[in-house]
Amino acid sequence: MRHSKLFYIAFSLSTLGLTSCEKDFLERPPLGIVGEDSAYGSLAGLQSLTAGLYNHMRVEDLGFMVGTGYLSMYADEAVPSYTWTTYGPTIPTRSLGWWGYSEVRQVNEFIEKLPTAKVSEPIRARYAAEARFIRAFHYFAMVKRYGGVPLITETQSYQQGNLESLKIPRSTEKQIFDFIDKELQAAIELLPSSYPASEGQNRATKWAALALQSRAMLYAASIASYSTVELNGLVGIPKSDAKSYWEKSRAASEKIIDEGGFSLYQQNPDKAKNFQELFLTADEASNNEGIFVKSYVFPGKGHDFDFYNQPNNFWKDYSSLTNPTLEMVEAFEYIDGTPGKLKVTDADNKPISYSSVEGIFANKDPRLFGTIMTPNTDWAYNGISGKVELRRGIIDNGVKRTSGSINASEVYGSGENRINIVGAAGPLQNSGDATKTGFYLKKYLTQDAAKLGQYGNSVTPYMVFRYGEILLNYAEASMELGLVDDALTATNAIRERAGIAKLQRSQVTLERIRHERRVELAFENHRFWDLKRWRTGTTEINNKQPFSLFPWLMWEEGKSPKDMKYTFEAIATAKNPLTFPAELYYEPIPNNGMPYLIQNVGY
């Protein structure tokens, strides 16, 4: 395997009990025992220091939350279920902030002390490359939030009476992106393609550095293409630089595609299950799509994503948090490549009836069913197995019968034809924790009962970089540069794996490539940042009301409910719409003790 794993680790590295191939790197004496300076006296100490640097990377993983929800809820992918979460009216700006200078200082100090390490020069050079990759990662996390930030590459020390020397002004956004590019280029030249098992598999390779370069330069190119330069370049990049950044992103992606040995995961002939398994097996030998993967350890160092996102009829305690929107469901095309809008009503605006609650989703992109739970999805969790039963209520002779709660006593019919009015998994409109949209999230959720049912027990890995993203980066950069054939090839590789019709050359547009990115990378914490870098947040999600899809059982007296038909109702959610004013393209600069830093526009 060529992918690298980034483990969720604590400073007490020796307590995690990892499998043998990771132990040698991660099981190092904690710094509090060894002492920071003495750690440079041995390879083991150096590895412990480096592991600490990895541990402080701002990875937007399965535990990354914004306020009381996930980043998907601040784009057009999902709404939060909980009734005490109003979903708006504005995106919480300071909740997204990350001023990572304590982490930058740790890396700077590590690089400065590395020449004293009692290891060979090639090893020192490699560790320096890892540190520069991590530092580039830190600065990318900040520049995509704030634009230009202070560029600090050496440790700072206060000299009495000279406070001004510590007041480093903001560099321009372009200067920060150029620094990231320079750091990564240096790291790429020195990082190995892979590590022997004895040195651990959880470290940055040249491919991880190229993947970060691919993504960061894509962001820079987008900012240059679609933003306005303000504050003398502290935010925004001149349009004249766009082509150079597109070329750099494309070149980094092309290097991975041509030489990295990665491939799209295709282990299961069932396209929907294959896509679902891609995210559950990211750190396994059978999966060659992950380039840089964050893994978790059970027991002791897991996450809570499963705990918070199970369907309501499988788990009651703070479940059901992420509710995919109807817009997200309809973004998935049909397998023949036609637009994915569901057929809810006919030409006369009358509801279309379906023989089953699943019928409306027939022939949809298989990725939909690997990403989102639709009505009657088979599921199992915490010892419970069955269907994700979704029904808003019953329509009898044109009269809607419904309920504001999921209650087994609220039934309809009699004898063998009795049925709960509302499905065991909802949906509910404005009460309870069940889905408010008619859908639940499936991507990343596991049914491995041995590791579930408790807070912090999930170990589903998170792919920080994967090959699918690299293909989409390559397609976008190629299209922006007018290289249509290359954009087509990369996009169709994604669509072929998905099991949907390939695009013809005449169909390839920048809009189609962006759309492909939306569905392939859904709920992977890309969409929000994509809307920002394309400068489309103000048009695509500002004041937009997300929609739900509610199934209704059409009651027929004397029939078994399983033989009755369903109609569907598309309805606005009870959540407030998001408000995305233009100033939200950048976060406010933190002003705690730093009034000398120029603030971003609008704050």
Secondary structure string (H, E, C) spanning 142-195: HHHHHCCCECCCCCCCCCCCCHHHHCCCECCHHHHHHHHHHHHHHHHHHCCCCC
CA 14 to mean position of chain CA atoms: 30
pLDDT at 35: 55
Q: How many CB atoms lie within 10 A of CB 565?
A: 18
Q: Please report, for residues 85, 329, 504, the alpha-carbon distance to residue 360 in angstroms, rounded to integers and kept in the order given.
A: 30, 12, 27
CATH architecture of 4-58+98-156+167-302: Alpha Horseshoe (1.25)
Amino acid at 591: N
The Cα–Cα gap between 212 and 57 comes to 13
**Per DSSP, which regions of 388-533 are E strands?**
393-396, 399-402, 411-412, 419-420, 440-441, 462-466
120 dihedral zone (left: phi>0; alpha: psi -120 to 50; beta):
beta
In the chain, the amino acid numbered 41 is G
Q: Show the low-confidence residues of the chain (pLDDT under 50).
A: 1, 7-34
What is each CA distance from 448 to 265, 297, 315, 382, 445, in whole angstroms?
Answer: 20, 14, 14, 9, 9
* Average pLDDT for the chain: 89
The pLDDT, as a whole number, for residue 8 is 40
Please give the torsion angle defined by the CA atoms of residues 367, 79, 65 and 469, in that order, rounded to the nearest 10 degrees.
30
- The residue behind tokens 């083991």 is 44
Q: Which two tokens stand for residue 68?
A: 């009381």
Residues of the chain with CATH 1.25.40.390: 4-58+98-156+167-302
Which helix H or strand E contains 138, and what residues bound it?
A: helix 121-146
Distance CA 567, CA 356 (A): 9
Closest CA to 552 of 429, 377, 386, 430: 429
Residue with tokens 């095309």: 333
End-to-end, the C-alpha distance of the chain in Å comes to 47
How far is CA 507 from its chain centroid?
28
Tell me what pLDDT residue 163 has.
76
Q: How far is CA 265 from CA 4, 55, 189, 337, in A?
A: 16, 27, 28, 21
Q: Output the pLDDT for position 16.
A: 24
pTM exceeds 0.85 for this model: yes
Judge contact between 318 and 306, C-beta under 8 A: no
Task: State CA 579 to chain mean position distance.
Answer: 21
Helices 467-480/206-226 angle, 10° precision: 40
How far apart CA 269 and CA 397 sit, in angstroms, is 44
Distance CA 168, CA 436 (A): 48
| Sign, CA torsion 337/342/343/349 | negative
pLDDT above 90 covers a percentage of the chain that reads 71
